[in-house]
Amino acid sequence: MSNLILPKNYKAILTLSQTEQAIKSIKDFFQQSLASQLRLRRVTAPLFVTSGLGINDDLNGIERPVTFAIGDMGDARAEIVHSLAKWKRMTLAEYKIERGYGIYTDMNAIRPDETLDNLHSLYVDQWDWEAVMGSEDRNVAYLKSAVDGIYNVLLQTEYMVYEHYPKIRPILPRKITYIHAQQLLDLYPGLSPKERENAVARKYGAVFIIGIGGALSDGKPHDGRAPDYDDWSTVAENGLAGLNGDILLWNPVLECAFEISSMGIRVDSEALMRQLEISGQLHRKELYFHRRLLSGELPQSIGGGIGQSRLCMFLLRKGHIGEIQASIWPEAMRAACREHGMPLI
């Protein structure tokens, strides 16, 4: 409850019935446009994977996956996915996807360690996407081209919402601004990472922060990243490391930076070994996924996740993610939101 934001003078623009219709329209339009923009085909994804193979994502390395025993497999352990970054890369290899093309899927996860607030839920739904690239594409320009494509789809979807619901006027800038996490630290040395994000998102409206996971000049990363999917350690531009980042939008309802996507060029064998060493996790090189990557069985790729509920929340100007998705919330939070005109599903 201490993290709950109750926006001043909040009033939902759409009724509950209109909201449900709008959610479907946004999801249908966005995924079709994204598939066309990035040349992706839809695939079916797992809800859970076998434990101990290194396939599940570690996110910041501290989140506990939801696990269970499989009775008909001698109580072998399985775990609900955190996301599908590594699974998607193996799927690219198995489906023999050509360079310049990729896949996307609906990813549903349970993250029991989330701190529940306006933006964070136990339930996570996102579009996970991954595309094959060449080794010569391992540069910031290629990363930016993918970000520009996704942002173009965001602009198209925002305008579609405006056409259907004229009270929801477009607010996104025509172009997204790029800034490296180190440059952001240099601009706002006295602020915390989240405060820096708020400052830069408020200024530009839409930003992509490059280089998340590696240590900055203050010895700390802007935010945590697992060592075995995004490449955050390669020195890529102007002596700055990182081939990954986050898309942040300025949320006028909550008056804060609003992360809509985390994405990046994935590790090659060299970056994987370097980042495992930096993070003190060299033992992971013996896991199934890591062995396949180090042996050259997996393609070079770029990919990420785009929050479905978050996208709908932003485009429909909702104050709480619970107005978009059904989840579990503390009863005190439900009561406070209800009294404030934000009924949670």
For residues 249 and 176, give the distance between their C-alpha atoms in angstroms, rounded to a whole number.
9
For residues 103 and 113, give the distance between their C-alpha atoms in angstroms, rounded to a whole number.
29
Amino acid at 86: K
Nearest to 102, CA basis, from 34, 191, 190, 22: 34
CA separation (Å) from 115 to 38, 73, 112, 276?
Answer: 33, 34, 9, 28
How many of the other CB atoms lie within 10 Å of CB of 203?
11
Contact residues for 58 (Cβ-Cβ < 8 A; gap 6+):
82, 226, 228
DSSP state of 215: B
Nearest to 188, CA basis, from 92, 118, 139, 257: 257
Helix (H) / strand (E) containing 246: strand 244-251
Amino acid at 100: G
Residues tagged active-site: 57, 111, 126, 246, 259, 262
